[in-house]
C-alpha cells in the first residue's frame, strides 16, 4: 500500500496536495501520515484530509502525530512543508533591516530575512532527513519549504536519498504570460531555467512567433506595465521574463529597492513589491487559512475537489505508474546549466517516470542572466555552509553578498545589522561560532 508522509501538514498547501493525489486515477488506496508540531493545526489538517477522502470515495486512511518518528516509517514519499518559528521572527527580520535602509517585500528567501530563515529552517530540515534515512531510506523527498534553493542544497549535501525542490513559480508564470499575451496556454511554448524564484524564460513563442516583441509593445502602456511592474521593467533591459513575482524578484537583484524613489517608481502593492508586505500580512494569512478549514469542516464553505498546479501529485503518479511526466524541479546542477556552479542547485525541466526524478540538460544561460543567478547561489552556498559548520563568519559573508543588502549598506553596517538580528533571533536558530 502506498504511503505518503507530509511534514508540516498545517501548511495551506496540504489541502491542494491531498486533493491532487486523490484525483490520480487507479490510485484508490493508501495511507497519509501527517506530521506537525502544532497539535491544533495538525488536527485541522487531519480532519480536512479525512473529509476530502470521504468526498472522493477512495479507500485512503490517515494517521497523524506531532512526533514524526511515530508515523513516517516505510513512507514511499515524504513531502516537507515546515515553517520554523516564522510568526515569532517575522517582525524582527523586517524591522531590524529597515533601520539600516533594507526595505524587504517578502524577505523569506533572500535578504536578511532569507538568511535568518535559513538559519532557523535548515537545522530542522537536516534532523528530518536523519529520521528519513533511519525510517524510510527508500523514499523520495519532495521539498516545498522556503528558502527553496538553500533547503535543497542542504539536502543534497547531507544525504544520498533522492530529493527535489518544488515550487509553483514556473507553471504559474507561464500561465500569466499566456494571459498577458492573450493566447491559449496550451499553444504557448517556452524554454526556462535558472534558480528558484529566478528562472528565466529565455524563449517564448506562439505558433513559431517570438512573443517578446509583442510583450515589449504591450508594456509601453503604463496600465499594463503596472500589472507586473518590476518583472516587466527588468524584461526591457535583461531580455527575458523571470519566474517569480515582482515582489520576490525585486529582492534578488540590486536595482529596485535600494532607494525609496525607485520603490515608488517600480514597485506596486502586495506581491508586486510593497515594503513589509510579508511581515504585515503573514500572521493574518495564517489565521485566515485555519479559519477557512474550520468553515469547510462545518459546512459553512464548500470543499472543492479542484486540482492545483502543484507538482507533488504529478511526480507521485509518474513514479508509481511509470508514466512519463515533465515538471520543473530544483536539483543539484552537475552541469545541467553549464555556466552555473556545478555543485549548486538549479531549477530545470525534469522527466519523471518509474526511475524517479531525471533532470534534463539545459546548456548555457545568457551570461548576464547566469551572473545574476550566481550572485544568489553564492549567498545560498555560504548560508548553508554557515548552518552545517556553525560558522558565524560564513553567515555574515552571506549577508554581505546579498544583492539588496549590499546595494544599501556598507560592510560595517551589514555587520551591525547581522549582530542585531542574531541577538533578536538567537532562541530560534543554531549557535554560530
What is the tens place of the pLDDT at every residue in 359-406? 999 999 999 999 999 999 999 999 999 999 999 999 999 999 999 999
Instruction: Write 391-396 long-range contacts (CB < 8 A, 24+).
Output: 391/432, 391/433, 392/422, 392/432, 392/433, 395/115, 395/119, 395/432
Burial of residue 237 (CB within 10 Å: 0-12, 13-18, 19+) is: exposed
**Quick one: three-class SS letters along 260-309?**
HHHHHHHCCCHHHCCCCHHHHHHHHHHHHHHHHHHHHHHCCCCCCCCCCC
**Whole-angstrom distance, CA of residue 357 vs CA of residue 348:** 11
Nearest-CA neighbor of 195 among 252, 115, 245? 252
Mean pLDDT of all residues in 118-139:
98
**CB half-sphere exposure, 392, CA atoms < 13 A:** 10
Mean pLDDT of all residues in 185-196:
98
Mean pLDDT of all residues in 195-208:
98
**Whole-angstrom distance, CA of residue 347 vs CA of residue 32:** 28
Residue 110 has pLDDT above 90, yes or no: yes
In the chain, list all ranges with CATH 3.40.50.720. 2-84+111-165
**Whole-angstrom distance, CA of residue 154 vs CA of residue 41:** 27
In the chain, list all ranges with CATH 3.90.110.10. 85-110+166-275+310-433
**How sure is the predictor about 12, in pLDDT bands with cuts at 50, 70 and 90?**
confident
Residues classed as catalytic: 168
Share of the chain above pLDDT 70, in %: 100
Please state, rounded to an integer, the average pLDDT across all residues of the chain. Answer: 96
CATH superfamily for 2-84+111-165 is NAD(P)-binding Rossmann-like Domain (3.40.50.720)
Mean pLDDT of all residues in 184-194:
98
Mean pLDDT of all residues in 14-18:
95
Write down the pLDDT at residue 173: 97
- The grid coordinates listed for 395 are 553567515
Fold designation for 85-110+166-275+310-433: L-2-Hydroxyisocaproate Dehydrogenase; Chain A, domain 2 (3.90.110)
Mean pLDDT of all residues in 16-39:
96
**Whole-angstrom distance, CA of residue 242 vs CA of residue 124:** 30
Mean pLDDT of all residues in 133-162:
98
* pLDDT per residue as tens digits for the range 62-81: 999 999 999 999 999 999 99
- The grid coordinates listed for 167 are 515550487
**How sure is the predictor about 425, in pLDDT bands with cuts at 50, 70 and 90?**
very high
Write down the pLDDT at residue 381: 98
* pLDDT per residue as tens digits for the range 239-274: 999 999 999 999 999 999 999 999 999 999 998 999
Residue whose cell numbers read 495511507: 31
Nearest-CA neighbor of 174 among 309, 71, 53, 39? 309
**Whole-angstrom distance, CA of residue 344 vs CA of residue 293:** 38
Write down the pLDDT at residue 284: 87
**Whole-angstrom distance, CA of residue 14 vs CA of residue 46:** 10
Write down the pLDDT at residue 286: 86
Write down the pLDDT at residue 282: 82
* pLDDT per residue as tens digits for the range 302-356: 999 999 999 999 999 999 999 999 999 999 999 999 999 999 999 999 999 999 9
Mean pLDDT of all residues in 219-237:
97
SS3 145: coil
DSSP per-residue string spanning 201-241: EEEEEETTEE-HHHHHHHTTSHHHHTTSHHHHHHHHHHSSE
**Whole-angstrom distance, CA of residue 370 vs CA of residue 336:** 13
Write down the pLDDT at residue 86: 85
Instruction: Write 64-67 long-range contacts (CB < 8 A, 24+).
Output: 64/9, 64/33, 64/34, 64/35, 64/36, 65/33, 65/34, 65/35, 66/35, 66/36, 66/37, 66/38, 66/39, 66/42, 67/35
Nearest-CA neighbor of 83 among 20, 12, 21? 12
Residue 87 has pLDDT above 90, yes or no: no
Instruction: State the CB neighbour count (10 A cutoff) for residue 91.
Output: 15
**Whole-angstrom distance, CA of residue 169 vs CA of residue 214:** 22
Q: What pTM was estimated for this model as a whole?
A: 0.96
Instruction: Phi first, then psi: give them for residue 347, nearest 5 degrees.
Output: -115, 115
Instruction: Supply the angle between the helices 111-135 and 148-158 in degrees, to the nearest 10.
Output: 40
Mean pLDDT of all residues in 41-47:
96
**Whole-angstrom distance, CA of residue 357 vs CA of residue 326:** 9
Amino acid at each position: 500500500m502506498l504511503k505518503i508522509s507530509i511534514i508540516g501538514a498545517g501548511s495551506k498547501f496540504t489541502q491542494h496536495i491531498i486533493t491532487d493525489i486523490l484525483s490520480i486515477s487507479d490510485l484508490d488506496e493508501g495511507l497519509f501520515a501527517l506530521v506537525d508540531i502544532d497539535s491544533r493545526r495538525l488536527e485541522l489538517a487531519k480532519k480536512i484530509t479525512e473529509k476530502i477522502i470521504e468526498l472522493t470515495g477512495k479507500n485512503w486512511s490517515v494517521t497523524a502525530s506531532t512526533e514524526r518518528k511515530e508515523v513516517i516509517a516505510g513512507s514511499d514519499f515524504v513531502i516537507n512543508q515546515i515553517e520554523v518559528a516564522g510568526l515569532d521572527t517575522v517582525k524582527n527580520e523586517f524591522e531590524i533591516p529597515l533601520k539600516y535602509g533594507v526595505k524587504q517585500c517578502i524577505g523569506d528567501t533572500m535578504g536578511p530575512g532569507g538568511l535568518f530563515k535559513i538559519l532557523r529552517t535548515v537545522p530542522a530540515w537536516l534532523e528530518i532527513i536523519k529520521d528519513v534515512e533511519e525510517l524510510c531510506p527508500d523514499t523520495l523527498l519532495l521539498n516545498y519549504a522556503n528558502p527553496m534553493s538553500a533547503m535543497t542544497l542542504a539536502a543534497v549535501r547531507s544525504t544520498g536519498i533522492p530529493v527535489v525542490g518544488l515550487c509553483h513559480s514556473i507553471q504559474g508564470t507561464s500561465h500569466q504570460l499566456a494571459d498577458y499575451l492573450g493566447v491559449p496556454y496550451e499553444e504557448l511554448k517556452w524554454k526556462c531555467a535558472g534558480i528558484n524564484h529566478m528562472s528565466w524564460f529565455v524563449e517564448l513563442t506562439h505558433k513559431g512567433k517570438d512573443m517578446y516583441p509583442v510583450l515589449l509593445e504591450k508594456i509601453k502602456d503604463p496600465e499594463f506595465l503596472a500589472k507586473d511592474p518590476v518583472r516587466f521593467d527588468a524584461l526591457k533591459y535583461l531580455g527575458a521574463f523571470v519566474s517569480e513575482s515582482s515582489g520576490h524578484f525585486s529582492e534578488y537583484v540590486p536595482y529596485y529597492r535600494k532607494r525609496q524613489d525607485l520603490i515608488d517608481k517600480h514597485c506596486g502593492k502586495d506581491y508586486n513589491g510593497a515594503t513589509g508586505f510579508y511581515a504585515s500580512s503573514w500572521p493574518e494569512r495564517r489565521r485566515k487559512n485555519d479559519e477557512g478549514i474550520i468553515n469547510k469542516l462545518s459546512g459553512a464553505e464548500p470543499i472543492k475537489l479542484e486540482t492545483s498546479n502543484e507538482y507533488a501529485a504529478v511526480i507521485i503518479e509518474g513514479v508509481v505508474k511509470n508514466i512519463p511526466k515533465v515538471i520543473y524541479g530544483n536539483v543539484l546542477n552537475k552541469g545541467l546549466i553549464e555556466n552555473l556552479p556545478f555543485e549548486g542547485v538549479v531549477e530545470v525541466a525534469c522527466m519523471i517516470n518509474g526511475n524517479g526524478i531525471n533532470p534534463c540538460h539545459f546548456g548555457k544561460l545568457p551570461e548576464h542572466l547566469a551572473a545574476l543567478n550566481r550572485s544568489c547561489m553564492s549567498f545560498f552556498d555560504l548560508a548553508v555552509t554557515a548552518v552545517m559548520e556553525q560558522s558565524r563568519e560564513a553567515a555574515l559573508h552571506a549577508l554581505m553578498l546579498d544583492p539588496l543588502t549590499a546595494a544599501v549598506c556598507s560592510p560595517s553596517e551589514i555587520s551591525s545589522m547581522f549582530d542585531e538580528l542574531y541577538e533578536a533571533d538567537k532562541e530560534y536558530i543554531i549557535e554560530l561560532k
